[in-house]
Amino acid sequence: MLQDLSLWVFLRKLKNRSGSISVQIISKGSGKYKVLKTIGCSDNEQEIQKLIYSGRQEIERISNQPQLFVSENDIIVDNVFSSLKNANISTVGPEIIFGKIYDYIGFNILREDLFRHLVIARLSFPLSKLKTVDYLYRFQRKTLDVDAIYRFLDKLSDQLKDKVEQISFAHTVNVLQGNISIVFYDMTTLYFEASDEDDLRKTGFSKDGKHQNPQIYLGLLVGLGGYAIGYDIFEGGIYEGHTLIPFIEKISAKFNLNKPIIVADAGLLTNDNIKTLSEKNYEYIIGARLKNESEKIKQVILSKKLLDGQIITIKKSKKVKLIVSYARNRAMKDEHNRTRGLQRLEKQIISGKLTKSNINNKGYNKYLKMKGELFIEIDYDKFNKDKAWDGLKGYLTNTKLKNKQVIENYKNLWHIEKAFRMSKTDLRIRPIFHRLRHRIEAHICISFAAYCIYKELERVLIKEKSSFSLKQAAELTHNIYQITYTLPESKHTKSTLLKMDDQQAELYGIINKNY
């Protein structure tokens, strides 16, 4: 026990209604008892003894600071805080940051609270649906049943996908001030942990390197800057070149697009696509595969011996031209990648891991060849000949744009590559654990809405010249707290944001200024 002036301080064990024991530091002064601090509570005898030991250490610590217990106000403040529970404090950062952007874009008109929770959870703590339930309860005090989430997913794709795309498209039109004269299309693969296939989930060429896992294709269409327009999913075994025309026609009809210029990667370059795009009066810029061109065209390209920054144009038909540019930095990167690929092949040959089945045109396997009937070796002649193509890049187009405009527009494809990268890393859209098609579609829809919010946050951070990356901004929301308490006399319940640190306050200020 500690005696100081008019105060006595001692430990008390208090039995609670639940049967647990609370260990408290009590003061007695002027005939009154006050709880100075609750050390903790437990129904385990060993834990209770630990709490008593901690309490004695605390009393010993404060014995050297008796002035702390002279002030009645200090005792009142300490009593207030000792009465608070975990339930009084909630994490509100994701809601006050991402929630405001969610409303600004217009997703709130869906009037679906569960969709809101799932989208914001995907942005702040991208987890499985089961773990999302745990997150919402632990951090936002929202009680949800996982079965309710699955029932919601079952109806989401049918009822909300079109509305989500319409809202996203309207936002993109607003951000780009109505300029949807050029669009960018690309595809990626999303794999599943489950090994069984069905009509949608099929094994195929995986851009994630998960060739043994069933997958689906995700096609995404964006405007300048990477702002989302629409998306669709395709079965995992389809050839990606066969998706371009159906997708463009579907999106054009849905949003009444007036024949925008279509920019796409070389993976979508097929004679059928080019023919159909021309027949339907679409203009396009598509990455060219120079080594697949005719021998005549390849000879013309290599005979030019282009210098850094030089561009040539080769007419392929009355309306179609092939633009070829050379960049020294690209040549250095190409050579580095080829050499690294060659070194991997050499190691695999030494280890004896390569078989006849490895001889194909996938990546650097194109440099393999058979030596007799049993041995595999590297075709160094073919490797060395490829050096002539280092630094060369081709673009196929039927537009009337100048060469540099064609190249600059094609370079904007990096925005869609960034969109996939953000979805796969920051939003963790993969791997997908669902099996039913409508739940897979619902998962993609939630991730698509989350991406739209992420892009808008990126836009406003750039606008305000903030130094925060998207990842940093998302992490800052994790520790923005709100305390809820009830006033003892009026019984009014109030909620107050806890004081933020400088970075959190900066982010909060940016959001409040713009939305």
Q: Where are the alpha helices (DSSP H) in 125-145?
A: 129-140
| pLDDT, position 197 | 47
The model carries a pTM of 0.71
In a domain, 445, yes or no: no
User: Residue 77 is encoded by which pair of tokens?
Assistant: 């403040």
In a domain, 399, yes or no: no
Give the structural domain span for 27. 2-83
| pLDDT, position 510 | 96
In a domain, 443, yes or no: no
Domain-ending residue, one of 83, 111, 143: 83
| pLDDT, position 423 | 56
Q: Where are the beta strands (DSSP E) in 236-274?
A: 261-264
In a domain, 256, yes or no: no
C-alpha distances in Å from residue 295, one per residue of 230, 291, 299, 305, 504: 39, 9, 6, 17, 60
Peptide bond into 431 cis (omega under 30): yes
The count of structural domains within the chain is 3
22 contact partners, CB below 8 Å, separation of at least 6: 13, 14, 15, 16, 38, 40, 41
In a domain, 31, yes or no: yes
| pLDDT, position 244 | 81
Q: How many residues does the chain have?
A: 515
Bridge partners for 127 per DSSP = none
Q: What percent of the chain has pLDDT over 90?
A: 28
pLDDT tens-digit profile of 69-126?
A: 445 566 666 666 777 777 788 888 999 999 999 999 999 999 888 899 889 888 887 7
For residues 104 and 97, give the distance between their C-alpha atoms in angstroms, rounded to a whole number.
11
Domain-ending residue, one of 83, 118, 151: 83
3-state helix, strand, coil in the chain (%, to 5): 50, 20, 30
Low-confidence ranges of the chain (pLDDT < 50): 1-6, 68-70, 197-202, 204, 206-210, 430
In a domain, 489, yes or no: yes
Domain-ending residue, one of 370, 389, 408: 389
For residues 310 and 164, give the distance between their C-alpha atoms in angstroms, rounded to a whole number.
44
- Residue 16 — φ and ψ, nearest 5°? -90, 165
In a domain, 474, yes or no: yes
CA-based end-to-end distance of the chain: 56
| pLDDT, position 426 | 53
In a domain, 480, yes or no: yes
pLDDT tens-digit profile of 119-177?
A: 988 888 776 666 677 777 766 667 777 777 778 887 777 778 889 999 999 999 999 99
| pLDDT, position 8 | 74
User: Residue 167 is encoded by which pair of tokens?
Assistant: 């809202």
